[in-house]
Structure 1
């Protein structure tokens, strides 16, 4: 029977440490502040922002939300980003996804100062990530590695399969795992016969948002399974993995909820503090 990888408790432990660091910064007159730009009224986005705000308040980080209408123009968005770039009190900027169709997301991300890019999505920071000299990491990918480290699950020499090639999870996670000498395969919607790849994985990560996608026959005996997916089924939150059936076959598995989700929020706060310290030479 597999062991659950408890992301919630780990997130709380790391938050306590981060709170001490933030207190030290504040004692020196430095207040970690990051800005979230939310365009439109997507319910899941607003819920995520509230979750981030709650954690930020607990730690002592200031989160400022710019709630913009769904009709927001591209130019006015760029003007806001430019203003935040110039504001010396702001240490982090992020655009809450998704954005309305009239917004050119790539252009908006390019406008964010890389030194304030808390999501690690600007072109220069993405390049640094793949080059291996990054100073900020995407929150979810950072959270996955933090969880593996906590349970002393090594990546060196392991076969890793990631289902999902998003710029937020799949691609950056692959880069960070390659950095630790894992052999990484990325699968996606056009990959044929997923099981031919997944059943050979020492570590399997699913991040596509497809409930019960991963079943026992797709998983290697004693593998480690990381479920990043979040789906709503019959008013319940479930992941991409059929946990009930897969858990008896693996060595470790993340629950949903309570696995990667809490660590994503905590890791975002850690990136804010990293950027704050970097800007102040700490």
Structure 2
């Protein structure tokens, strides 16, 4: 069963309601004066209109709930928690509507949903993710157990079938899993194909895209200066989609400090670099043609 979308609103929890929660509730613990809280407010309002999970908030500056916020170990505002199964689960993902919706709904419901590919495509689109997974199986619990660590991160479903099949539908391209149905190979397949084919990286979530078994090739630069290279790399992503993860990291005040001495030395130059586990190779765009640079660093990443 997929989720029925209903209109809702962010409910302001009273202290009595807070201590008597019974249904799953996604809660924002905030301070009205906080800049990050103000930035999140419209997104949280939007979230309440696209999910039938209860969305609520608690003003931690209210003296009646100060003690409760402290008990929940609220160290900064806003803090997001899901009340589910009589416990509070911390949300540490992106503060975007699609990411929050995906995490809340797939945390509450079973990882493996009995649904058609068209239903899963609709759900994935509502969560602003371009990839979902689908199994034809008579043993969905096998996939549920192996892929449990991806709960809250992916959309996945199944149909009843005596013929075992597992696919990733990545930006409308169906990719069939051809390995053995074991823990290592299934996890690797999901990890590689759970990302968009081309990513515009955001600093806080940057490193989570670099842990897969494929190289991560990244264009770094000022967006108004690298449009030709950006378009070429987006086209290359369609070819590299099985062998590498491609993306763009815009050069700005937030990213320069982040990559200094970690990825490239001169943050004033536009560059192309690749990360393969702990190995980092980079070249600046003033050397050779762009295609040659991409090919060079990809080959470098493949060397032992």
Query: With structure 2 as the length reference, what TM-score do the two structures score?
Result: 0.30
Higher RCO, Cα 8 Å, sep 6+: 1
Is the radius of gyration larger for structure 1 or structure 2?
A: 2
- Higher strand residue share: 2
